[in-house]
Amino acid sequence: MSNATYELKAETRERVGKGSSRELRRNGLIPAVIYGDKQTPISIALSTKEVTRHIHAGGFMTTVATIDVNGEKIQVLPKDYQLDPVRDFTMHVDFLRVSKNSVVTVEVPVHFENEDKSAAIKNGGVLNIVRHTIELVVPANAIPEAITVDLSGLSKIGDGIHISDITLPENATLTIIDRDFTVATIAAPDVLTAEEEEGTPAGEAAGDAASEGNAE
């Protein structure tokens, strides 16, 4: 299941637009909108500190939250948030209104376990992660926190994990159904020469050797 739910307090915004949004941010608030469920979108303002705390806690995009809008409690799922490209603070958040019967599309993170039990990795293979997330369609009240991939069965270089090798959470379906896509592989390690391991480019080392030969 997804991370524990949480509640945010919000106030409605009478004015929208860039000027109004800048004023909100100066006052420690984030402009946001709640939409979906065939209802009129609601423009709101939230505490920057509270929203940022939940974003940094992890699982923000897969956790259903409650927003208290002037006393009305609305169940929502974050669908998008925008960061300032320079100062890296939250600029805006979009929330999807959900109910107990809602089905949503979410990007669920992939967690890998038992690397220490994989013979391929023990023999020098390197885990090459092809997909860090997998997009699923799931009930809003049953979003998995992560998809766990067991690496213990990978025994040789070139082995891989495909989506067909993974047991999906109950009631979850894939958005990609036309191919058995790769989630991770075991790649061969990069082999360095002795000179490269010491930080000397191979060409430079060869040149040095030739110079020493000419000197003799």
Indicate the pTM of the whole model: 0.76
Residue 199 pLDDT: 55
Which residues in the chain land under pLDDT 70? Answer: 1-3, 191-216
**Cβ(112)–Cβ(146) below 8 Å:** no
DSSP state of 179: S
User: Cα dihedral angle (165, 166, 170, 172), rounded to 10 degrees?
Assistant: -100
Q: In the chain, helix, strand, coil percent, each to 5?
A: 25, 40, 35
Query: Residue 23 has which token pair?
Result: 């004023």
Where is 18: in which H helix or E strand? helix 18-26
Share of the chain above pLDDT 90, in %: 68
Residue 192 pLDDT: 45
